[in-house]
Amino acid sequence: MAQVQTASQPTWEVVLKRNSIERLKQEKFPLDIVHELPSLIARGYEAIPEEDIVRLNWWGLTHDKPKVGTFMVRIKVPGGRITPAQLVGVGEIARRYGRNYGELTTRQGIQLHWVRLEQLPEVLSAVQATGLTTVGGEGDTVRNVTSCPVAGVDREELFDVRPVVQAVAQFFYGHRDYSNLPRKHKYTISACPAQCNAPEIHDVALVGVVKEGRPGFAVRVGGGLSATDRGTRRWTDGFVRTAGRSGGDRLAGAAPG
């Protein structure tokens, strides 16, 4: 019988040689770049190594396109749910630093443009003061957690997932153990019967179900968007319960399907 040869796993030496992103993460943990902002500002935009520009991605900061010396700032809004006070705060930031302009993203976040390098510390502080964050807006992190835009008010939803969305977002955002993933991870959580949040195109999707009278989630994994269809190919066997019987105040753990 012919022997089947399997490819050996690459060593870290090979990975770091071939993959510039893994190499820059290994050399300096990307989240720590925020502490270097004063020195980067002192050096000036054109003197900043491209590796450090990439590390700024982990704080939701990236080159404007074309590269003209200003930055796009991506603000994470879990589930797209924002309070009036937060919206006013973001609007003021856009007015002061972003030419009074902002974009709503397809993943329920907000993007500002034309922010100058020396303004970044003030902008990050102002975003934090609203109760929102840019941390993990880009980079190999858990990105903004999305949901049904009418979660909590849709009369047809199985239960209100908003507390779960907030809890998951608070757990992952800025968590160092989940800020050095092989690639970005996109999560979505909803109990919307129409599945308007497109769970099939997410890396991890919690889909609201009621099993034996208990609210919880079925789990889909492996979805994504690219040049070829990468919709999730399978459901997992688990059932993730919520802590309450009437709604999703938090996750209680996984149970066999």
What pTM value is reported for the model? Answer: 0.86
CATH of the domain at 179: 3.30.413.10
Give percent above pLDDT 90 in the chain. Answer: 75
User: What pLDDT does residue 20 have?
Assistant: 87
User: What pLDDT does residue 231 have?
Assistant: 53
Confirm whether 21 is domain-assigned: no
102-107 long-range contacts, CB within 8 A, separation 24+: 105/74, 105/144, 107/143, 107/144, 107/146, 107/186
Peptide bond between residue 182 and the one before it cis (omega within 30 degrees of 0): no
Alpha-carbon gap, residue 145 to 109, rounded angstroms: 9
**In a shared domain, residues 121 and 169:** no
**In a shared domain, residues 33 and 125:** yes
Q: Which tens digit of pLDDT belongs to each residue from 15-30? A: 777 888 999 999 999 9
Indicate the pLDDT class of residue 1, thresholds 50, 70 and 90. Answer: low
CATH of the domain at 59: 3.90.480.20
Asked if 108 contacts 149 with a C-beta cutoff of 8 angstroms, the reply is yes
User: What pLDDT does residue 216 have?
Assistant: 93
Is residue 254 pLDDT above 80, yes or no? no
Asked if 136 contacts 58 with a C-beta cutoff of 8 angstroms, the reply is yes
* Cα radius of gyration (the chain): 20
Alpha-carbon gap, residue 198 to 147, rounded angstroms: 9
Task: Look up the domain containing 206 and give its range.
Answer: 162-256
Alpha-carbon gap, residue 57 to 133, rounded angstroms: 13
Confirm whether 156 is domain-assigned: no
Confirm whether 147 is domain-assigned: no
Higher pLDDT, residue 226 or 68? 68
Element (H, E) at 254: strand 251-256
**In a shared domain, residues 101 and 194:** no
Give percent above pLDDT 70 in the chain. Answer: 86
**In a shared domain, residues 187 and 248:** yes
Confirm whether 203 is domain-assigned: yes
Domain count, the chain: 2
Confirm whether 15 is domain-assigned: no
Domain termination site, one of 109, 129, 149: 129
**In a shared domain, residues 41 and 105:** yes
DSSP result, 156-224: TSSS--HHHHHHHHHHHTT-GGGSS-SS-B-EEEE--TT-TT-GGGSSEEEEEEEETTEEEEEEEE---
Average pLDDT over residues 177-185: 94
Higher pLDDT, residue 222 or 96? 96
